[in-house]
Chains A and B, each alone.
Chain A
């Protein structure tokens, strides 16, 4: 008996001509025409957030680096791997750590999923940060995209908050101590936290303040684990997802920022040009995460012990910069005020920088002030992370990366504070001179001469510090470098570039610049001269 002949062409024709197929794919049969390429985008629920056509510059890898899309991909992988992990994880103090061990040793592919979730989380924090840097450098936050930049800043914050809430769930030592430190910062919130300035105004205690509400108790315990679990798995992803939709929708409505490469250039079809690039990036990143998750296991420390802190105890890398800041400032400044100002300041950038130059392409010469200040802030953040991660050893003492942690270090020198009148005078002088001088000096300053004069002057002070005050050379150099950076970015840059800005914008910009540089000054005073506080008002818990 002869077998019936199988014709693939015939089967394909039958299938694609059926009512079922045609009901699913309206735009059939596919033809490679401009109309079909456009309908491929417009008629597709997944792709319709794209425009049908796009500027050729936006297709270049080196314009966007695909960072926004990769962030979204990582969010999707995190959602899927997270939901799978939820099937084997129980958020209770007795079971959470056991379930982590089971995921590692008793669940098929459990360790792989956990690795994937962890490495994607690290990657997402990195990529979201890089995405923000890219958007800044191409001026893509400027009118009409100011609001979407602010949405992006909130999404960055939510990405960090998702990481933070996720950190507690393994219930290991890193988890409990990172969250203890993090939530104690909430306890240092002015007025609303029991250890913050003016805590007594509303009668805040350890069992009624904002920290208590966050923890669901007075210490990180069973309630905290459950609360963080619900926030991590349900509440925050929902908010993040909603804001991602808003973010995408606004990109579309505000139009892409990429500037034309030539006059009267023709736009390119998004299908297939952009979509193919997106899929290539997604495949490459997925493959990278896949291999990383096969070869490297996510760390899991000992089970949480609320009485004993590991020594040294370090936050995950993206919070180590904040941890390092906490060495120099009281928690309400480093943990509440500065993060608040950083978020507020980032959101304010598009409303402060209203220059129409440099939108949609990389340029340094057209935006010297904005780029220098922003990139200095970013570099400073990563320097803080480097210090915290590589230069801190047992008891959070300063150890050089090449030093053994077993080396015995002399005890840290005693710290001292300025008296109240001196502190008030210093702060007032820094604020008053810093705000007025760059605006009042109208002449062009030669930076080379000014830097020479500043460094010459400091050389004399430095020699006096070294030989008169017996302060070691590296401390003098540290103070010198930090003060010079303050002089450069806090005075020379604003004096040259923003002295003619309108008064409100000048005031806010310069205040933000001075606060950023003030952090460096305080670091210099602590590292070089062991100054604890510039201004000390212990009766209000208010020390700067």
Chain B
């Protein structure tokens, strides 16, 4: 034969093809486990009229939407009630002005900053918007917790 295939090259080719097959099968299996469509509820909801929220921490939507709505003299922001440690739902204790997590004991103040416990970051604030009709619309998919950014729109809605 003019161009004989060497044993070495043949083996490289064969094992290479086998490795490529295994790699491809592994990648495809991993991709299979990533769902393309989720049937999860929308993260955006209408919390009602902004004027109905008194000054302070409101637990009105806590059980249904897992958010606290905090109103100050300047405006409104919404805290996502998910501990930044491992995702449990903290509880609001008005007498101590703290959110306390039942899983590992993290404590937060109404601004969302960590006071005690293992949580590594402040609570997340959700995107808030007051519509032309005066409705407060909260989007839990868009989040912020950096001081300086979280105090501005769209994570804070000015409302006197």
Contacts and interface: CB of A to CB of B under 8 A. Distances in A.
A complexed with B: yes
Interface of A: 177, 180-181, 184-185, 188, 207-208, 212-213, 216-219, 221-223, 306-313, 323, 326-331, 335, 392, 394-397, 411-415, 530, 532, 538, 541, 543
Nearest to B81: A307
B52 interface: no
21 contacts: A180-B88, A207-B38, A212-B34, A216-B33, A218-B40, A307-B66, A307-B89, A309-B88, A311-B91, A313-B88, A326-B104, A327-B117, A330-B120, A331-B86, A335-B86, A395-B91, A396-B101, A412-B107, A412-B116, A413-B116, A541-B120
Contacts of B103: 177, 181, 309, 312-313, 323, 396
B10 interface: no
A530 B66 CA distance: 30
Contact of A181 (B88, B90, B107): B88
A307 B105 CA distance: 18
Secondary structure call for the B interface:
loop
B150 interface: no
A8 to B, nearest CB: 60
B115 interface: yes
Contact of B87 (A184, A312, A394): A184
A411 B98 contact: yes
Contacts of A327: 104-105, 117-118
B115 A412 contact: yes
B64 interface: yes
A213 B33 contact: yes
Given A208-B34, A307-B64, A541-B120, A414 B105 contact: no
Nearest to A218: B40
A317 B106 CA distance: 21
A323 B103 CA distance: 8
B40 A217 contact: yes
A308 B63 contact: yes
A217 B118 contact: no
A180 B117 contact: no
B159 to A, nearest CB: 25
Interface string B1-27: 000000000000000000000000000
A307 B62 contact: yes
B102 A309 contact: yes
Contact of B105 (A330, A412, A532): A412
Which of B35, B39, B88, B91 has the most CB atoms of chain A within a 10 A radius of its CB?
Answer: B88
Contact of B115 (A180, A216, A223, A414): A414
A400 to B, nearest CB: 16
A538 B114 CA distance: 14
A395 B87 contact: no
Contact of B86 (A184, A207, A395, A530): A184
B87 A396 contact: no
Interface in B98-128: 98, 100-105, 107, 115-118, 120
Given A323-B104, A397-B105, A308 B87 contact: no
Contact of B96 (A218, A313, A411): A411
Given A185-B86, A307-B64, A323-B104, 14 more contacts: A180-B88, A207-B38, A213-B30, A213-B33, A213-B34, A307-B66, A313-B103, A331-B85, A395-B102, A411-B96, A411-B98, A412-B116, A413-B116, A415-B117
Contacts of B81: 307
A330 B121 CA distance: 11
A166 to B, nearest CB: 20
Secondary structure call for the A interface:
loop
B148 to A, nearest CB: 14
Nearest to B116: A412
Contacts of A184: 86-87
Given A208-B34, A213-B30, A411-B107, A312 B118 contact: no
Contacts of A412: 105, 107, 115-117
Nearest to A533: B120
Interface string B120-147: 1000000000000000000000000000
Contacts of B64: 307
A305 B91 CA distance: 14
B35 A414 contact: no
Q: Which 10 pairs of residues, A with B, have the shortest CB-CB distance?
A: A396-B105, A311-B102, A412-B116, A395-B100, A184-B87, A309-B89, A184-B86, A309-B88, A307-B66, A181-B86
A396 B104 contact: yes
Given A208-B34, A218-B40, A219-B40, A326 B118 contact: yes
B114 to A, nearest CB: 8
A268 to B, nearest CB: 48
A396 B102 contact: yes
Interface in B20-59: 30, 33-35, 38-40
A212 B86 CA distance: 15
Contacts of A308: 63, 89
Contacts of B34: 208, 212-213
A208 B35 CA distance: 10
B105 to A, nearest CB: 4
A177 B100 CA distance: 16
A188 to B, nearest CB: 8
A532 B85 CA distance: 13
B105 A222 contact: no
A313 to B, nearest CB: 5
B101 A221 contact: no
A313 B102 CA distance: 6
Contacts of A216: 33, 35
Nearest to B143: A206
Nearest to B107: A412
Nearest to A181: B86
B86 A221 contact: no
Given A307-B64, A327-B105, A396-B103, A415 B116 contact: yes
Contacts of A411: 96, 98, 107, 115-116
Contacts of A329: 118
B105 A543 contact: no
Nearest to A408: B95
A221 B40 contact: yes
A97 to B, nearest CB: 18
A119 B86 CA distance: 28
Contacts of A177: 88, 103
A395 B88 contact: no
